[in-house]
Structure 1
Amino acid sequence: MYMVAKLAFTGALLVVSTGELCAQPLNTVDDLGAALSKCWTPPAGFEDSFVTLRFAFRGDGTLMGPPQPTASRVSGDGEQRKAFVAAATAALQNCTPLEFSKELADAVAGTVFTLQFYSSPK
């Protein structure tokens, strides 16, 4: 399964998860989207599902609070939906803190983002 994430910030960015996180500070919103996408591995057993999370960063790269689900389509029952949402929330929380350049920190601090976590159909 593959992850595709759409990070909304003055437009939309579509990224696909590959590779490792880099140790250098993130400089652009594209860098931010790519870094976040690398943190997500869809849980087994979910096909053609997604959850959209809403969140904001502080300038130091930490989350301002817990991510909030705003939309979802998850195959299965209510418990499976909760498990998928929890996996996406944990992936985002475990990805932080991120290291931002001064310019990116100033640009994104307090900005509300939405990110869609997908599991692809077979």
Structure 2
Amino acid sequence: MSQTSPILSLPYIQPAQAQKHVTHNEALRILDAVTQLSVIDTTLTTPPAQPATGDRYIVADAATGAWAGQEQSVAVWVDSTWQFFAPSVGWRADIAGSGAEVRFDGSAWQDTG
């Protein structure tokens, strides 16, 4: 049996696993980050100076600093660190406050408007 789900890579609880709550909490963290996706910005190449817990961004090309190498990923600020999630084809994200929406086509986020 696989150790993760096929679409969101949610960790499965394994037979006779100790500390099952750790695996369960990690799965909840992933779901919290990527479901009903709404991001603050899609154009930043460097992380904001003072993000708030739960802030989400789509990392723009030519990213630097803590975002280097994470282009096109969804960056989420949680527990005083950035977590990154690689999107799959078809993921959609609302751009907060703009009314715009983007869709990941497998290589880049495209405006759906």
TM-score range, shorter chain: under 0.3
Q: Please, what TM-score do these two structures have when normalized by structure 1? A: 0.26
Identify, as 1 or 2, the structure richer in helix: 1
So what's the TM-score if we normalise by structure 2?
0.27
Structure ranking higher on relative contact order (CA contacts 8 Å, 6+ apart): 1
